[in-house]
Structure formats: C-alpha cells, structure tokens
C-alpha cells in the first residue's frame, strides 16, 4: 500500500517544505468516510517520519439525523490514535435548493476560518482518482472550457489558504484496503448513493463507460492533466501581460492601453479581464464567462464609454481603459481632502487618476484608519 501513496505524499512534503510560510502546522479534512480517514492515518504515519504537525477537522453540516453521531465517532477515533481533532458546526438556516453547493462552500469557509485563527496555511483534502474523473465529467456536462476540464488541481487556494490534494492519483479501492488492513471502520454516507446528485449518477456510470467504450477513470484523469498543462500556459501568458501592461493603483484600480489589449488573442484577453475584475473586485471567483465575453466585445469598440461588472466600474479615461472598484456611495471628494490624502501617499502626487478612482482610494484609506 505504501508504494501507492508514498510518492504523492513525498511530493506534497517537498512542495510544502519549499514554502517557509507553510512549514506547519497543517490541517486535514476528515468526514468519517473511508477516503478522508485513510488520508488522516496515512498522514499520521508519514508525519512521524517528517516530524510534521497537523490537526484533523470535521465539519458537521447538520443536514442528516445521524451527522452528529458520525462526527462524535470521528472524534473518539482521533482521540484513540492520538490525533488532534476539532468539530466545526454549520449553524443557521440551510438552503432549500442547491444544498450540495452551499454545504461545500460552508465547509470550506468553516475550515478556512479555523485555519486562519490557528495560524494554519495549508489544508489537506482526500480527493482521489475517481473523484477527479467524476469532476472532469461533471465539468464536461456543464460545457466547461480549459479551466473547468482541468478538474481539481493538486494545489489550489481558497482565499489565502492553500488546499492540497495529495491523493489525486490514488484509487479509492486502495484507500479502503489500507483501512481494512489496519482494522479501522469508516462511515458510509447514504447521500453518496442518492441519484438526486449529478456526481452520484456519474459515479454509477463510470464502470459502464469503461466496459463499453474503454473510457476509464485513468484516461479521464490523464485528459484533465493535459487540460491543466494548457491552463498553466495560458495563465502564464496572462500574468506576463498584466505585469507588463497593467498600471496599478493600490488594490483599487488598474489601467490598460486599448491598443495593447486589442493585440491580444481573444482567449488571453478574456483571461486578462477576468483576472483584473477578480483582483479589483476582491472576489474569490471572476464574473461568469458570458459576461466577460460581452465586456471584451464592448471595450474593443471605439464608442465604448463604460459599464459595471463584478463590483467594478470599467470606463475610458485619457485614452486608457480603467477598471476600478465600484463605490456605492455618491459623496463628493473635496479637493482639500484629496490633497491631504496625497500628502500621506505621495506615490499618487503626479498620477493622472480619474476622479472616480480618487474617491475609491480615499474611501479605502479612510476605512483602514
């Protein structure tokens, strides 16, 4: 069993060790299911060798009658094996529809908050090879592009928390065999067999896809990996353009020359706009692709004047396209107040900034004081 996961965990260790800010401690999500329990116990073995410190986190969503008993079972199991553990509760009203998506968001928010409060920079999650294949097919069903078909990345970020998935190349059958070998019992969540969820439907289809047309989870995961390589290249091109061409005003606004934007391939242009809207708007995700496509078409027209999107204002000022954070209030900024602001922030003294951006910069500084 060790040969199956050792290289992945070693790779994970090498990556984390290369980032001093993530030297530890870490957190690992554990629901009580076979996959997450296997990760916790594999991590415990591995952590002893590496002298690493981690805490297991269980989120109790309160969506099923048996949820509390399952969380308490995990707590007892962790205590019996000397593993630090906390239960996090999703409180308040639960949505009537879109429960799966809402629960996922709540789960990550709760774990993010705990990690932030406890100085933890990396959260390990037990997604495995079949999860990756299912995610690829779910994204394909939704009509996703390159980014979506890249499926889950081995390392991603939720806000400023690193989310690490060290088992994406491991089959779930291996994880269950590992637990059976150690005589560790796990919880079976009935919702994992409920056909109301698209993921469950796809999971049940996978054996037939492989038997009938040879579309195995291995091939699906390899295709996702190819898409990830394409995505990484496109992101590199996007980042290089932004670094070279975008004029930045704090976290409140950026400017671009229309002629520079107009020379871009459409795919890179869309990515540039998405990245800047996400950054300036302070969002976890950029606006949907259809909205960004409409903005891309609009900003390239000679009669473009402006619009709003993703809590940002986009407009033309002195032959530059500006993207600034949308300011909800309409209070005017007295000249004297701006002069006082510039005295404290001389980097803006000689900048030709649009009045709207001045108001945003002043408001942002006022909120911090």
List the chain pLDDT tens, one digit each, 369 residues.
455 556 666 666 666 666 766 667 899 999 999 999 999 999 898 888 777 789 999 999 988 889 999 999 999 999 999 999 999 999 988 888 888 889 999 999 999 999 999 999 899 999 999 999 999 999 999 888 999 999 999 889 888 899 999 899 899 999 999 999 999 999 987 777 777 788 899 999 999 999 999 999 999 999 999 999 999 999 999 999 999 999 887 778 899 999 999 999 999 999 999 999 999 998 878 898 899 999 999 999 988 989 999 999 999 998 999 999 888 766 787 788 877 887 888 877 767 788 888 788 877 765 444
- Sequence ranges of the chain with CATH classification 3.40.50.620: 2-226
Strand partners, 253: 249, 324
CA distance 317 to 19: 41
- Contact assessment for residue 333 and residue 341, using Cβ atoms and an 8 Å cutoff: no
Q: For the segment 176-190, what is each residue's pLDDT rounded down to a tens digit?
A: 999 999 999 999 877
- Chain segment 71-127, per-residue pLDDT in tens: 999 999 999 999 999 999 999 888 888 888 899 999 999 999 999 999 998 999 999
CATH H-level superfamily of 2-226: HUPs (3.40.50.620)
Q: How far apart are the first and last CA of the chain?
A: 56
> Which pLDDT score is estimated for 367?
44
Are the C-beta atoms of 129 and 217 separated by less than 8 Å? yes
Q: Tell me, what's the pLDDT at 13? A: 66
Angstrom distance (rounded) from CA 247 to CA 229: 29
Cβ(159)–Cβ(167) below 8 Å: no
Say how far apart CA 293 and CA 266 lie, in whole Å. Answer: 9
Q: Give the whole-angstrom CA distance, residue 171 versus residue 161.
A: 26
């Amino acid at each position: 069993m060790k040969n199956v996961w050792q290289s992945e965990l070693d790779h994970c260790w090498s990556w984390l060790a290369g980032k001093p800010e993530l030297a530890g401690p870490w957190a690992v999500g554990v629901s009580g299911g076979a996959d997450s329990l296997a990760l916790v116990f594999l991590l415990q073995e591995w952590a002893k060798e590496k002298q690493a410190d981690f805490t297991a986190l269980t989120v109790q969503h309160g969506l099923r009658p048996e949820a509390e008993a399952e969380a308490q079972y995990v707590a007892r199991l962790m205590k019996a094996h000397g593993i630090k553990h906390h239960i996090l509760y999703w409180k308040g009203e639960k949505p009537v529809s879109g429960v799966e998506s809402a629960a996922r968001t709540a789960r990550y928010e709760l774990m993010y908050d705990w990690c932030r409060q406890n100085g933890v920079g990396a959260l390990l999650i037990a997604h495995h090879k079949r999860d990756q294949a299912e995610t690829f097919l779910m994204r394909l069903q939704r009509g996703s592009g390159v980014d979506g078909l890249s499926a889950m990345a081995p390392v991603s970020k939720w806000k400023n928390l690193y989310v690490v998935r060290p088992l994406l190349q491991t089959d779930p059958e291996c994880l269950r065999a590992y637990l059976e070998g150690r005589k560790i019992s796990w919880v079976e969540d009935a919702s994992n067999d409920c056909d109301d969820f698209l993921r469950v439907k796809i999971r049940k289809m996978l054996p037939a896809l492989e038997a009938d047309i040879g579309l195995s989870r291995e091939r699906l995961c390899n295709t996702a990996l190819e898409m990830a390589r394409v995505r990484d290249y496109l992101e590199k091109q996007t980042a290089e353009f932004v670094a070279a061409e975008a004029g930045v005003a704090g976290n409140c606004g950026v400017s671009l020359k229309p002629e520079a934007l107009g020379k871009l391939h459409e795919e890179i242009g869309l990515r540039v706009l998405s990245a800047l809207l996400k950054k300036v708007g302070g969002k976890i995700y950029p606006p949907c692709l259809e909205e960004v496509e409409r903005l891309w078409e609009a900003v390239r027209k000679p009669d473009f004047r402006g619009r709003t999107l993703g809590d940002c204002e986009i407009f033309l000022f002195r032959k530059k396209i500006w993207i600034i954070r949308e300011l909800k209030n309409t209070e005017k900024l007295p000249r004297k107040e701006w002069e006082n602001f510039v005295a404290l922030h001389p980097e803006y003294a000689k900048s030709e900034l649009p009045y709207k951006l001045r108001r945003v910069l002043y408001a942002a500084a006022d909120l911090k004081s």
